[in-house]
Structure 1
Amino acid sequence: MNDATDTPGGDPALLDALRHDLGAAQYTVDGVEELLGPVASAALHREEALPALRATAGRADARSTLMRLFVLGVDVPRAQAERALGTLTVDGARRLSLVDAAGAGPDDGVRARVDLRPYEAVDGLDDDAPRHGGPGTAGVVDWWIASDLGELATGSALRTDHVLGVGGASTTLAQVTVRGPRGRVLDLGAGCGIQALHASRHAQHVVGTDISRRALAFARFNASLAGLGEDRLELRLGSMLEPVQGPDEPLFDLVVSNPPFVITPRAPQAGADGGAVPLYEYRDGGRTGDAIVRDLITGVGSVLAPGGVAQLLGNWEVRRGEEWHERVGQWLDESGLDGWVVQRELQDPAQYAETWIRDGGTTPDRDRAAWTERYGAWLDDFASRDVEAIGFGIVTLRRPEHGAPTLRRLEEVTGTVRQPLGPWIESSLAAHDWLAARDDAALARERLVVAGDVTEERYLTPGDVDPSIVLLRQGGGLGRTVRTGAALAGLVGACDGELSLGQIVGALAALLEVPASEVAADVLPGVRGLVRDGLLLPA
């Protein structure tokens, strides 16, 4: 049943017909890239439509028609739309609220009401991991996702209740999410439902929440189009954690959230063509500064089961006289949870304002007065709190099985990482627990092996026998580079699973002619770091 009059419906028979037509047209990510070619595809990713319009102009094949209609926002003749939607028909698409038709004649225009495009991603679900019958196959998923038409198609600023499709942040969250089997998963701020779809592949039951009725309607449509039944996905209306808090509400094993984290000035709001800063439901939490991310970090533990994990994206303010990790670290301390924060980007207030003013469809070329007013409002808002920079990153939280939190990591990683990170994050959490259960004496009894993605670089001064610098480089994960001393490098080189760490330390001590206790004190902290980050693994 449709929750909003201007969102797509979900008649099962019509959805079956739509799936057939989209598949028959090879309307897939690979199919679209083949159609457009590399130049037009790359331009489209940059929100430039002209090369794609030229690549599809004058073509009447089904794939080109669907692309022009649902992505590029071009009116197509009804006869052409009928050929592309041969099973569903234009009337069926109208009943699903996907299109409007100007008339019944073959040359009458058909216009899309929604953006409907193929989606493909690798989400880190292992080939051998238990799954719960969700759509897609292990690792790689491919669906069609509906959302509101964007500025590229409409040529105008976004409506404030705009429902966003799958953007870069959504893809990032899907790829960093841990994908071990879960009983109950919460997608907080579900939007068009993409995180809920990913979660359905390794969870028994998924609950999606959003403050927007329109977003929930799109999420319901996308789930139905992907073949996910209402018995496994439950959608609830409400703000933040409110829809899932209550004395009889079961706890969740995983919470994922791409919340409305954008820091927007709290000022009188105008309409799409006004000068004041509008609030967009998909990105603005309606709170001052970074309060929505703080509240989520400090409050999500109330709905997590013991051992449950929460992962979210967020922005945080860096105020004058503070380091970025001080503010976020305080939130971790207040949460009572294990916490790991990776800051991926840092922008100054001017960069941040420009990014999000443009995101809403306002540019200096289109409306200089509105641009200037909104730019000034953002700068004034940040100045009122002495904000010097805004960080963006990934937050992973975990409710301890018992006792106090033992994990607290805050680090900055701005380089390229190898996605999907979810399996690596999950293994790092397991490594933390493995290390926490072993003191140095117990660790010395273990046998370790070097991970398969680790390489070693040695730098020697000409004429020297021994290297002056030894670097261990990680090919996966966060792509860490670890500089080691001679003893630690020698130990890593001997970690083939045959000897225990204690035996290797003893051999190094004899070689270096120093007490074994000194070698152990030198290398074991480094060993713990290498195990924690996945460069060394238990044999």
Structure 2
Amino acid sequence: MTPYAAPITLDGDDAVALRADLAPWTVDAVSELVGNRAVRALGREHVVPARLAAREAGRDPVALLTRLLTLGETLTRADVERALPRLGADGAARCGLVAVGGAGDDDAARALIDLRPYATADGDDEITWWVASDTGEAVTSRQLEGDHVLGIGGATTTLASVTMRTPVGRVLDLGTGSGIQALHASVHAREVVATDVSERALAFAEFNRRLNAPPAAWDLRLGSLLEPVEGELFDLVVSNPPFVITPPGTPSFEYRDGGIEDRGLGGDGIVRRLVTEVGSVLSPGGVAQMLGNWEIRKGQSWTERLEGWLDDAAASGWPLDAWIIQRDVLDAAEYAETWLRDAGVIPERGRDAFDAAYEAYLSDFDARGVEGVGFGIITLRRATGAPTLRRLEEHEGELPVPLGPHIAASLAAHDWLAYRTDTELLEERYVVAGDVTRETYGRPTLHDPEHILLRQGGGFGRAIKADTALAGFVGTCDGELTAGQIAHALAALLDVPPGRMVEGLAPAIRELVRDGFLRRG
């Protein structure tokens, strides 16, 4: 492994100066500068359209910052002075942001790292942060180094979106990388402990903490998995762990696999370890939210494998409520191709090396009977009594942003439903959520629709097929009548025995309340 140069640093005065210089450099400012075409191309990791647009803006500071720190262009010392008037070129070099060729205005300056603005919301307020990481392959056109520190990507934003933002005391960001999840946690937590196996990653996280000055206290710790926090308890654990399955003979990166083979955690062992052991660091009622993938082996469904992990957690003394959503499945060959491409190992850069790594993947998978790999979102909660939730499901399609509020509302609805009898359920009044619509389908010659769908606009965008009774029930839920009153009225209207109507509606009401179609009036 070729070592990187020394990590970036930032002292108090330089942090104040840099923060002031970057203030106009926001996500909206960059989007306005380069335009939608370039923004979409950046999302596909292509920088050429953005470079062209930024060059056309001349020496505008936003354009210069974007060209230098995000797009990897070589500028001049004078350009750096214009873009960073308070920190200056010498200050930027001192912090490790840039390398400057000399003291002349026309001497070349180039970025040593990637720095870019990032936007998030805190209620009705928008927050801008600036996140430093190692420069990606789209800029360098080189295969990544083994200790590469990843910047903001799809997994980063997915985890940030699904995380519940209920105010809490202590948060653990396990595998913090550049620290973006720790920044998010700082908005709603008193204290954040961020861990990583990479010293370089922790250096970037510390730089980003000093640059953005989050309100919560941070404690950065070096170590693997739960070892740095053994014996401590947290209200929330968030983790985008290094879960990529990396057989011997394939490219290894700390941010993807964390050296799991060296720790005896081959295959999907790192996710299994976290699922079975995270309860040991959760306060009663505490929640863990993480991304992960799991092997799907011949003769075993993905749910069986995850159920086994949850059973192991309970047997170890940590019974957990669990809601696990499988978002995607790749067969063994697709998985190998995906992560080899992510590592920059492609046929165009060396057919022999690509074929050897590809074969190593497939040989390892075939030896262990792995037919595919599932990827998804894991939400676990340390039960205060006997667990009441074990929900493993599949969901495809785009996810709305943010999703955390919906997950929190669904968990709260589950808790309310868990201790309500059907009789108590029918005594309540309900209101249809504002994002629910009804769709009807059928041949034009038929008086009544053949299909009725209740569709959710927010949340997971679920659609429920409804019969006439259920559609009529939901359409009457305006908070005026109890569910039981509506059920008896529908029974009379449809000439159905009341007991049969109630028996059919009760489980449907539970599902609708749990998933946010109905809310208590």
Q: How far apart are the structure 2 equivalents of 1:416 and 1:479?
A: 9
The total of aligned residue pairs comes to 507
The equivalent of 2:238 in structure 1 is 256
Equivalent runs, 1:12-161 vs 2, <5 Å = 12-23=12-23, 26-57=24-55, 59-122=58-121, 125-127=122-124, 137=125, 140-161=126-147
CA contact (8 A) 2:251 2:340 kept: no
Match of 1:277 among 200, 225, 250: 250
The equivalent of 2:214 in structure 1 is 228
Structure 1 length-normalised TM: 0.91
The equivalent of 1:310 in structure 2 is 288
Partner SS, residue 65 of structure 1: helix
Q: Is 2:411 the counterpart of 1:419?
A: no
Q: Is 2:405 the counterpart of 1:407?
A: no
- Give the drift of 1:463: 4.9
Residues 5, 39 of structure 1: CA spacing in aligned structure 2 closer, same or farther, 3 A cutoff?
Answer: closer
The equivalent of 1:293 in structure 2 is 271
Name the amino acid aligned to 2:256: R
CA contact (8 A) 2:14 2:87 kept: yes
- Give the drift of 1:488: 1.4
CA contact (8 A) 2:454 2:464 kept: yes
Q: Is 2:474 the counterpart of 1:474?
A: no
CA contact (8 A) 2:171 2:235 kept: yes
Q: Deviations over 1:204-241 (max 9, x none)?
A: 11111111111111111111111126x61111111001
CA contact (8 A) 2:172 2:237 kept: yes
Partner SS, residue 482 of structure 1: strand
The equivalent of 1:180 in structure 2 is 166
Q: Deviations over 1:468-517 (max 9, x none)?
A: 32110000000000011221111111111111111111112222333221
Q: How far apart are the structure 1 equivalents of 2:352 and 2:75?
A: 35
* Greater helix proportion: 2
Partner SS, residue 54 of structure 1: helix
The equivalent of 2:226 in structure 1 is 241
Name the amino acid aligned to 1:468: E
CA contact (8 A) 1:29 1:120 kept: yes
Match of 2:189 among 170, 182, 203: 203
- Give the drift of 1:454: 0.3
Q: Is 2:307 the counterpart of 1:321?
A: no
CA contact (8 A) 1:450 1:496 kept: yes
Partner SS, residue 256 of structure 2: coil
Q: Which runs of 5+ in 2 are unaligned?
A: 314-318
Match of 2:341 among 358, 362, 365: 358
Q: How far apart are the structure 2 equivalents of 1:374 and 1:520?
A: 59
CA contact (8 A) 1:341 1:393 kept: yes
Name the amino acid aligned to 2:465: R
The equivalent of 1:511 in structure 2 is 493
Partner SS, residue 219 of structure 2: strand
Q: How far apart are the structure 2 equivalents of 1:171 and 1:355?
A: 19
Q: How far apart are the structure 1 equivalents of 2:82 and 2:496?
A: 81
The equivalent of 1:7 in structure 2 is 7
Name the amino acid aligned to 1:213: E
Q: How far apart are the structure 2 equivalents of 1:465 and 1:49?
A: 56
Partner SS, residue 483 of structure 1: strand
- Give the drift of 1:536: 0.6
CA contact (8 A) 1:39 1:51 kept: yes
Q: How far apart are the structure 2 equivalents of 1:428 and 1:189?
A: 27
Q: How far apart are the structure 1 equivalents of 2:325 and 2:370?
A: 20
Superposition CA RMSD, Å: 1.6
CA contact (8 A) 1:209 1:236 kept: yes
- Give the drift of 1:371: 1.4
Partner SS, residue 213 of structure 2: coil
- Give the drift of 1:193: 0.4
The equivalent of 2:316 in structure 1 is none
Partner SS, residue 423 of structure 2: helix
- Give the drift of 1:72: 2.0
- Give the drift of 1:460: 4.2
- Give the drift of 1:178: 0.5
CA contact (8 A) 1:78 1:90 kept: yes
Q: Is 2:513 the counterpart of 1:531?
A: yes
Q: How far apart are the structure 1 equivalents of 2:184 and 2:73?
A: 31
Name the amino acid aligned to 1:52: A
Name the amino acid aligned to 1:57: R
CA contact (8 A) 2:21 2:87 kept: yes
Q: Is 2:445 the counterpart of 1:455?
A: no
Partner SS, residue 57 of structure 1: helix
- Give the drift of 1:70: 1.2
The equivalent of 1:496 in structure 2 is 478
Partner SS, residue 234 of structure 1: strand
CA contact (8 A) 1:47 1:152 kept: yes
The equivalent of 1:394 in structure 2 is 377
Q: How far apart are the structure 2 equivalents of 1:77 and 1:499?
A: 72
CA contact (8 A) 1:121 1:171 kept: no
Q: How far apart are the structure 1 equivalents of 2:127 and 2:463?
A: 31
The equivalent of 1:218 in structure 2 is 204
Indicate the larger mover: 63-72 or 519-528: 63-72
CA contact (8 A) 2:77 2:89 kept: yes
Q: How far apart are the structure 2 equivalents of 1:415 and 1:303?
A: 33
Structure 2 length-normalised TM: 0.94
Indicate the larger mover: 512-521 or 426-435: 512-521
Q: How far apart are the structure 2 equivalents of 1:104 and 1:288?
A: 51
Q: Percent identity?
A: 57
Q: How far apart are the structure 2 equivalents of 1:256 and 1:94?
A: 34
